[in-house]
Each structure stands twice: as C-alpha cells, then as structure tokens.
Structure 1
Amino acid sequence: MKATPSPAATSALYEGWVMHRRVTPRHHRFKYRVFAMLLDLDELPALDRKLSLFAYNRGGLFSFQDRDHGDGQPLKTWLDGLLAQAGIEAKGRRRVLCYPRILGYVFNPLSVWFCDDEQGGLKAVIYEVHNTYEERHAYVLPAGEDEKLVRHGCPKQFYVSPFLSRDCRYQFRIRPPGDDIAVTIQEDEAGRPILNASFAGARKTLSDGALFRMLLRYPLMTLKVVAAIHFEAVRLMLKGVRRHPHAPKSVYSPAE
C-alpha cells in the first residue's frame, strides 16, 4: 500500500451514531452506526496520491467528487460566494464533514462545511442539505465566539421530506471537529420541537488501514442510508403521518 498522509493532516474519519427522533404527531425513532469523513479541500490531491483506497474526482473504493456538492462551480469559488453573501470573511482552510462515495455511490442528507480564518479560527459553518430530488440548499451561519459549541437558528427554506412541513424553524447545534464531533438539528413547528436529528462520532486517523476497517464494518453504508430513508418513510405512512407536496428548490439561506 502507499504511504499514509502526515499525522499533521487535518482530514480524518469519524465513526459513530446517527439518531432521528420524531415527537409529533406520532412518536418515531431510529438509530444506526455510520462513519463520515472530514476532508480538508487543500489536502484532497495529496490524499489521492498517498492513499490506495481513496480517490479524488475519479473512481475508487472510497472517493470524494466535487460534483456531489455545491452548484457546479469550483468548490472554493462556491464557498467564497456563499460567505460573501452572508457578509462573513473566512479565508483559511475549508473542511467538509460528509459521507464518501463507496464503490461510486453516495447520498449525503447533510454535509457540514467548516470555514476558518487565516489564523485557523472557525469563522463560519455551512449546512448543505440534500434531498432525494437531487436538490441542495445551503444554510450559512457565523461561528460566534464559543469555539466549543456553535448554536444557530433559522427558518426552514428547503423541502426535505414529504412528512415535514416547510413552515418550520431549525435549531442547529454543533461541537466542531476535535477528538470527537457532534452535530444536532432540532426542527420546530409553531414553537414546539417536532424532530431531532444528530450525528456523534469519535475521530480516527485517515489511513488505508482505517478505510479497510470501515469497509469491513460498513460495506454497504451509502446504500444503507438511502434504504433507511425509504424504510422509515413506509413506517411513517403506516402510522398515518400527513404528507406534504414537493416544493421548488432554493439554493442559499443567510444566517440570522
């Protein structure tokens, strides 16, 4: 195998749990193990060269493709545009927490972008939401002064699920990447919580050995994500949860 990247690399794996809990109009909960990758955009070419099991913008056992994110522009250009629209200056490293392609396939319900200033401080977080209609929407928020916990609220602007109204409000809470990571989204309707979704994981060094272990533990993970979405949709239908029609997409929401 090829040599693994330098220990100083900021890219990493995070292995942990995804949890969804709906509290109204019907109680509904599921939880399953997954892993995600934290990828520094500046490190992607080096990771492509140094790792045998990971590829950048080409086919591979595990891969990251620029076209799976953004709006078709180069990713840094897209991120710069979003940050400028939100009035946030963050000229440092750009990292994304997402699922990789496995054997060429991926679906990311949520990708989280961490945008730093030139001194390495976290300045902004961008939540890139994907739905099963191949649409994407970005919620852009300033990181604030608390480096250990970022909180933010904004109106929901994007159709995600037929079982959730767009007339809702998101409450985001995130513990930025370190030895562990936690991302929590609470969806409120009429001032009351209706859904909590979260991912919490522990950091693993990104190496060929670690990727091979992830393959053994989660060989069909990206397919499992989509299968779980449809399986849980059937369960919600059987519980009689109201369906909402698909609404047109939008591409950007500024922070409040």
Structure 2
Amino acid sequence: MLSELFEGEIVHVRSTPVRRRFVHRIGMIGLDLDEWGTAFRGHACWGHGFPRIWSIRRRDHLGDRSRPLRASVEERIRSLGGSAPAGRIMLLTMPAAFGFAMNPVSFYFALDDSGTPSAVLAEVNNTPWGEQQCYLLDPRSPSAMTPAIGKAMHVSPFLPMELSYGWRLNWESDRLGIVLNCLSADDHPVLAVSLDLKRIPWSAAALRRWTRRHPLPGWSAWAGIYFQALALKRRGVPFHPHPRSRMPVAALRKET
C-alpha cells in the first residue's frame, strides 16, 4: 500500500494588525490516487461516500466528479503551465466524517520515480462561499521559498485580497512540512501558516488508531476557524467582505 497516514499540528502566526498565534492538532490522509477504491477495502466504516462514516469523496475535490480525480489533477496541472505527471500522485486531505467535510486546503503531490515531488497542486477552498482555487507550486525552486503567487480568491474576511502567497515544502522520509507565508503588497509578512506532519505507514491497525485520535477532522477544523474568527473580530481586526469581481483567468494563469 502506497497511501499514508499523517498526524501533527498546524500553526497560525498573524503579524499585523494584531499579533496572534494558535496551534491546532490535525490528522490527514495521504491517498495515492491510483489506490482510489482499494485503499479502504476491508474497512467497513471507511470509503468514498455514503453510507461510510469516514470517506474521501470525489465531489469534494476538483474537476468533474464523473471523471477520475487523477485525470482532473493532471489536466489542471497542464492548464497552469506544468507538465503532466508520469508517476504517482498523492492527495493530502482531511476526510469527511458523518457526511461533513471541510478542507481549507488539500495538496496533490506529483512524484517522480524516486518518490520526490516534481510538482505540487494546492487546492484551496473558502468557507462559507463554497469556492475553489488551485495554485501550482514548484517544490524544486532554487530558493527556500517558492516565488510569490498572487492571491486569486477571497478566503478569510480578515485578510485583504491584495496579498501574495509564498510556499516552502519540506519532504522527508518520516515527516512532511509545508509553510505558507501571506505577504502584503510591499512584501511584509501578514500571516504565516505552518503544517508539520509525521508520516505513518498505512495498515489496518494504524487506520483504526488514526480514526480514534481524529474522529471529526472537518468538524474540528470548522470549530477552530470560527473560534479564531470571533477572537480576531473582538480584537478589532478589519473585516473584508467578499469582493464582487474576480481576477481575470488570463491574469491568474500568468501569475501561476
């Protein structure tokens, strides 16, 4: 089995207009897309939709749900200027639990023959608007942080649209780390988000332990997001409503 389990924490550090830091415990699934339909075989409570209690659902991710997810990921990478992946693709995401899924961001790692990422597709979802935007990242960038990518979708009402994203990936045999820096128009840090995960080899026993420790991943993320939103509002952080206009597709592709 090439799929993996992940456990760790996500840390948010806001620098302006107020300083705030919070840590959230998190569990994620690293599903090899070629094992879609087989990874959960033999696990009665796991699958890819109803009536399973925990599931990774096709409809929660990019593209036409009638097509295989791998085909949609390959197409999106090509449309953003990348090369079609020839090797494995791993989806890093939180599963739905009791019919509810919430993934602020999922990642698709296109792996080369050595198992090293050659491209990373970040699938960003906003709440509660139900919109989705993908960003193509180059993990082989010569700098520690990938070149900044212009923000193309409203995500948090406590962050303006005039931001750019810088990413850094730490891919190791036993750990996975991802850092996102939100930068202002003059390149000053506004928010840093770091994901630090321990890799756990896939097995029936490991999946049972993971499920006991993370029974409600989406619900936990939802509660954490809205609790922090309330805290920011109470501290007077400016509120940015959802913009009515969207960045032109041509401009988005140029930036990505």
Interval containing the TM-score (normalised by the shorter chain) = 0.7 to 0.9
Quote the offset at 1:53 in angstroms.
3.6
Report the Cα distance in structure 1 between the residues aligned to 2:80 and 2:246, rounded to whole angstroms: 19
Which residue, 26, 29, 34 being the options, matches 1:37?
A: 29
SS of the aligned residue for 1:215 comes to: helix
The answer for the alignment partner of 1:6 in structure 2 is none
Q: How many residues align?
A: 246
> How far apart are 1:198 and its partner, in Å?
1.4
Superposed counterparts of 1:159-178, under 5 Å? 159-176=154-171, 178=173
**Which of these residues, 101, 106, 116, is aligned with residue 96 of structure 2?**
101
Q: Please give the alpha-carbon distance, in whole angstroms, between the structure 1 residues aligned to 2:71 and 2:6.
A: 27
Gaps of 5+ in 1: 1-8
Classify the secondary structure of the residue corresponding to 1:77: helix
Structure 2 residue 242 is matched with structure 1 residue 246? yes
Partner of 2:23, secondary structure, is: strand
Paired with 1:67 and 1:87, the residues of 2 have a C-alpha distance of 25
Normalised by the size of structure 1, how large is the TM-score?
A: 0.87
Give, in whole Å, the separation in 2 of the partners of 1:33 and 1:142: 27
Matched, 1:127 2:119: no
Preserved contact between residue 86 and residue 112 of structure 2 (Cα < 8 Å):
yes
CA distance change for structure 1 residues 136 and 29 in 2, over 3 Å: closer, same or farther?
Answer: same
Give the secondary-structure state (helix, strand or coil) at the position aligned to 1:227: helix
Equivalent residue, structure 1, for 2:15: 23
Change (3 A) 1:103 1:254: farther
Of 66, 85, 98, the residue aligned with 2:79 is 85
Q: Superposition pairs for residues 55-204 of structure 1, below 5 Å?
A: 55-73=47-65, 74=67, 75-89=69-83, 90-117=85-112, 120-132=115-127, 133-144=129-140, 151-176=146-171, 178-189=173-184, 190-204=186-200
Gaps of 5+ in 2: none
Distance 1:159 1:204 in 2: 34
Q: CA deviation at 1:58?
A: 4.2
Shift of 1:121: 4.7
Q: CA 1:140/1:181 → structure 2, altered by over 3 Å: closer, same or farther?
A: same
Give the CA RMSD over aligned residues: 2.2
8 A contact 1:114–1:126 mirrored in 2: yes
1-side partners of 2:25 and 2:53: how far apart? 20
The amino acid of 2:5's aligned partner reads L
2:6 maps to what in 1? 14
Instruction: Give the whole-Å Cα distance in 2 for the aligned partners of 1:249 and 1:65.
Output: 28
- The answer to whether the 8 A contact 1:83-1:140 is kept is yes
Q: What SS does structure 2 have at the residue aligned with 1:113? A: strand
Q: Which amino acid aligns with 1:20?
A: H
- Inter-CA distance 40–195: structure 2 relative to 1 (3 Å threshold): same
Structure 1 CA distance, aligned partners of 2:145 and 2:29?
20
> Residues 119, 30 of structure 1: CA spacing in aligned structure 2 closer, same or farther, 3 A cutoff?
closer
What is aligned with 1:223? 219
* TM-superposed deviation, 1:253: 4.7
Would the aligned equivalents of 1:141 and 1:255 in 2 still touch at CA under 8 Å? no
Q: Deviations over 1:146-171 (max 9, x none)?
A: 7xx77342111111000001101111
Aligned counterparts of 1:150 and 1:12: Cα–Cα separation in 2: 26
Q: Conserved in 1, the CA contact under 8 Å of 2:24 and 2:224? A: no
Q: What fraction of aligned residue pairs are identical, expressed as a percent?
A: 30
CA shift in 2, pair 1:136/1:219, >3 Å: same
- Deviation, structure 1 residue 174: 1.1
